[in-house]
Structure formats: structure tokens, C-alpha cells
Amino acid sequence: MPQYITDNTDDERSHVAFLNAFLASKGEQPVNFDAFRNIPPSKVRGVPQKGRLTNLQQLSVDTSWWVRYRSTTNPDLGAIFTPQQAVKGLNVGQHPAIPVNNADLSSVITS
């Protein structure tokens, strides 16, 4: 779990670096993203308790794009599309992609 937490933080830093490199490639000044760090961090022990840029605690899972664009019901081809999930029984609501609190760690399998 500590490696997973570190990887998430590294990913966020690399996203900031990528965005600033893109701006520099267009002749623009880098941006300080600290003002946008307004997403609360996970409450898991070891996670830095500062605002985040990315929210891995509430991801929307929606597989309807597969049905929409990979079938004869493609609305871009004139079909009338009735939204349906490619994964039957999927709850499209918000799902955490990371442990949100220490209790979530109790279900982690260790080897």
C-alpha cells in the first residue's frame, strides 16, 4: 500500500510537469497549480494531508460508450441510442479507485 500511495502522488506531480512542459512548448509561462489543490486527500495513514488536483475517491464508471460506438446503435451513424451499460448490473455511480480511509485497508490482501 505505501508504494501505491507514493505512485499516486508521483502521477499527480508528473501531470503538473506535463502540463507545464506543454505550456512551455507553446511559449507560455509555467503555472503554479497550488491554487487548484482543493480536493481533500484520502484519510489513509501515510498520505500527505494537502489538497489534491485529481480525485481518485469518486470516479464515474460508465461503459455505455462501448455499446454506443461499437455497435449498430451508434448515434453518429443515425441510430437512436438508448443508453445501456456494456457491463450488465454495473452501478454507474461514484466509486473510489484508492483506499479512502484506514478501514479500507482491512480488505487488502497481502502475500
User: What pLDDT sits at residue 2?
Assistant: 63
Q: pLDDT for 83-110, tens place per residue?
A: 777 777 766 677 787 878 888 877 655 5
Query: How many Å from the N-terminal Cα to the C-terminal Cα in the chain?
Result: 12
Residue 34 has pLDDT above 60, yes or no: yes
Q: Per DSSP, what are the bridge partners of residue 59?
A: 95
User: What pLDDT sits at residue 26?
Assistant: 96
Neighbours of 43 (CB within 10 A): 14
Could you tell me if residue 46 is left (phi over 0), alpha (psi between -120 and 50 degrees) or otherwise beta? left
Neighbours of 42 (CB within 10 A): 21
Please tell me the pTM assigned to this model. 0.53
User: What pLDDT sits at residue 44?
Assistant: 83
Q: What are phi and psi of 92, to 5 degrees?
A: -80, -5
3-state secondary structure of 46: coil
Average pLDDT score over residue span 20-46? 91
Residue 36 has pLDDT above 80, yes or no: yes
Entry field: residues in the chain: 111
Residue 1 has pLDDT above 60, yes or no: no
User: What pLDDT sits at residue 5?
Assistant: 64
